[in-house]
Amino acid sequence: MSDLQTQMDLEQQGVLFTTINKLYNWGRRSSVWPMQFGLACCAIEMIAAAASRYDISRFGSELFRASPRQADVMIVAGTVTKKMVPQVVRLFNQMPEPRYVISMGACATSGGPFRDGYNVVRGVDLYVPVDVYIPGCPPRPEALLHSLMTLQAQIDVQALQQVRWYGDDEGVVNEFPIPVFGAEGLEVAGIPGTADPVGGTPKMPPFVSPALGGKGERDASIKALEGNQPKPMLRAGTVTIEEVGHGIAG
Amino acid sequence: MALLARGELRSILQTQLPNVLDSRWDTQATDQVEAHGEGQTVLLDFDAVVKAEAIVEVAHFVRDTFGYDFLSNITAVDYLKQGLIELVYQFYNAAEGGPDLRVRVRIGRSPEECIVPSLTPTWPGADLQEREAYDMYGVVFPGHPNLARIYMWDEFKGFPMRKDFPKTGDKYTHVTGE
């Protein structure tokens, strides 16, 4: 008689066996509370997933918390603009661990249809590590539920001694740098120059997904090509604030 | 107080306010020459193109004479090839209804030329739209009470909607692995 058979027989008689790990993961996977936080049209699908037709509470995630301090998962639902990304990173930093990020839709994952625009971040994984990506524009509520189940499957295999926030591993990042507004784009601590220029290519690789073992480090296997530097801003024939502007106005 | 037909404002201004029309754009578009051709014909238009310094006078004129009292919209267009920034003002006659009346101003793209007097003192609704034209295209509006950036952060330099604003690269033009 196998161990599993013994366990099932005993369960029929009302005796339950488990491990601390299993119990702990079961508790966490069944109460992944999202942060109440939507950026664009994906947020409408997120609302639909929370309403009765799709009913996200079947998975224990119906409590959309109004504070990052009480949330377990940040669903980045929508277009992340360069003006919004400091707030996104700040909110993520304020979440207690264990914490997860779901990048919902094409915009949050890669910039989507706006990636060549001057104002949209080319993937939120440049600023925070993402556990689950959802394709779609916008993804249907079922896709969001599937991403939640994927996240639960990731939680299921976690071992208490090895999760990144409980270990004393070197190099575990708990605080992600909040980008700062600069003259040519966003500046990020640790990245020389303008890390994410307006109208240019980001000079930094994305964070490794924690699902692939990332501990908050950027993907070193991605190397920028020569010539992948943003062009300098074309100032000839354009006005800068210094040249005209506040002096003339008013 | 009456609605104006398409292109009518131009001939009215020629007789009543002879100095406000921009003489560079004297040729009025006709139905034969559509305003979407190549080269300079793209700038042919039915609407009145007025001098930048006359826009306040013309705006008050169409309001007081014809009842176009509601300034619905101000927007800017960058004609890079022609070296021009065009501002389009849309006036609406609230009492008589549509269609709206368009007045255009064409100015150069250099800092010395890219200046148009503000309509905000008369139409407070022009406030945010003039700030948008300043933020995105670099048009300066003397007389505006608070000409600050509206979309981009204050530290930013450059005007992203100008046609010569750079747009480069792709996140995935890297080699992965090796």
Say yes or no: B94 contacts chain A, CB-CB below 8 A: no
Reported as a single tens digit per residue, the pLDDT across B108-145 is: 988 899 999 999 999 999 999 999 999 999 999 999 99
List the single range of A115-129, B24-38, B57-71, B96-110 with lowest mean pLDDT.
Answer: B24-38
Domain CATH number, residue A17: 3.40.50.12280
Say yes or no: B121 contacts chain A, CB-CB below 8 A: no
Comparing CB atoms, the residue among B140, B164, B170 nearest residue A234 is: B164
Q: What is the number of alpha carbons within 13 Å of residue A223 lying toward its C-beta?
A: 6
Q: Which residues contact residue A142 at a Cβ distance below 8 angstroms, ignoring those fewer than 6 apart?
A: A54
Reported as a single tens digit per residue, the pLDDT across A111-170 is: 888 887 888 998 999 999 999 999 999 999 999 999 999 999 999 888 877 777 776 666
Say yes or no: A216 contacts chain B, CB-CB below 8 A: no
What is the model's pLDDT at position A169? 65
pLDDT band at A171 (very low <50, low <70, confident <90, very high): low
Binding-site residues of A for [4Fe-4S] cluster: 41-42, 107, 137
Question: Residue A120: which domain range?
Answer: 7-225
Say yes or no: A161 contacts chain B, CB-CB below 8 A: no
Shortest CA distance from B117: residue in chain A: A249
In a domain, A244, yes or no: no
Q: What is the mean pLDDT of residues B26-52?
A: 68
pLDDT above 60 for A237: no
Better-scored residue on pLDDT, A67 or A243: A67
Contact yes or no for A141/A54 (Cβ under 8 A): yes
In a domain, A185, yes or no: yes
What percent of chain B is modeled with pLDDT above 90?
51
* Inter-chain touch A248–B157, beta carbons under 8 Å: no
Reported as a single tens digit per residue, the pLDDT across B17-27 is: 888 988 887 77
Domain count, chain A: 1
* Inter-chain touch A201–B168, beta carbons under 8 Å: yes
Dihedral through CA B18, CA B23, CA B27, CA B29, nearest 10? -80
In a domain, A247, yes or no: no
Indicate the DSSP class of residue A100.
E
Output Rg (C-alpha) for chain B, integer angstroms: 19
Determine if the pTM surpasses 0.90: no
What percent of chain B is modeled with pLDDT above 70?
84
Residues of A in contact with B114 (CB under 8 A): 239, 244
Beta bridge partners of A181: A186
Beta bridge partners of A185: A197
In a domain, A94, yes or no: yes
pLDDT above 90 for B4: no
In a domain, A2, yes or no: no
A97: phi then psi, degrees, rounded to nearest 5: -85, 150
Residue type, A137: C
* Inter-chain touch B176–A184, beta carbons under 8 Å: no
Structure-token match 């590590």, residue found: A129
Better-scored residue on pLDDT, A151 or B34: A151
pLDDT above 50 for A59: yes
Complex confidence, ipTM = 0.78
Helix (H) or strand (E) segment spanning residue B57? helix B55-66
Chains A, B: CB contacts under 8 A, how many? Answer: 126
Binding-site residues of A: 41-42, 107, 137
List the single range of A84-93, A100-109, B168-177 with lowest mean pLDDT.
Answer: B168-177
3-state secondary structure of A107: helix
In a domain, A246, yes or no: no
Say yes or no: A221 contacts chain B, CB-CB below 8 A: yes
* Inter-chain touch B115–A246, beta carbons under 8 Å: no
What is the model's pLDDT at position A235? 41
* Inter-chain touch A118–B159, beta carbons under 8 Å: no
pLDDT above 80 for A232: no
In a domain, A126, yes or no: yes
Per-chain mean pLDDT for chain A: 83
Say yes or no: B98 contacts chain A, CB-CB below 8 A: no
Reported as a single tens digit per residue, the pLDDT across A3-18 is: 778 888 888 888 887 8
What is the model's pLDDT at position A223? 63
In a domain, A232, yes or no: no
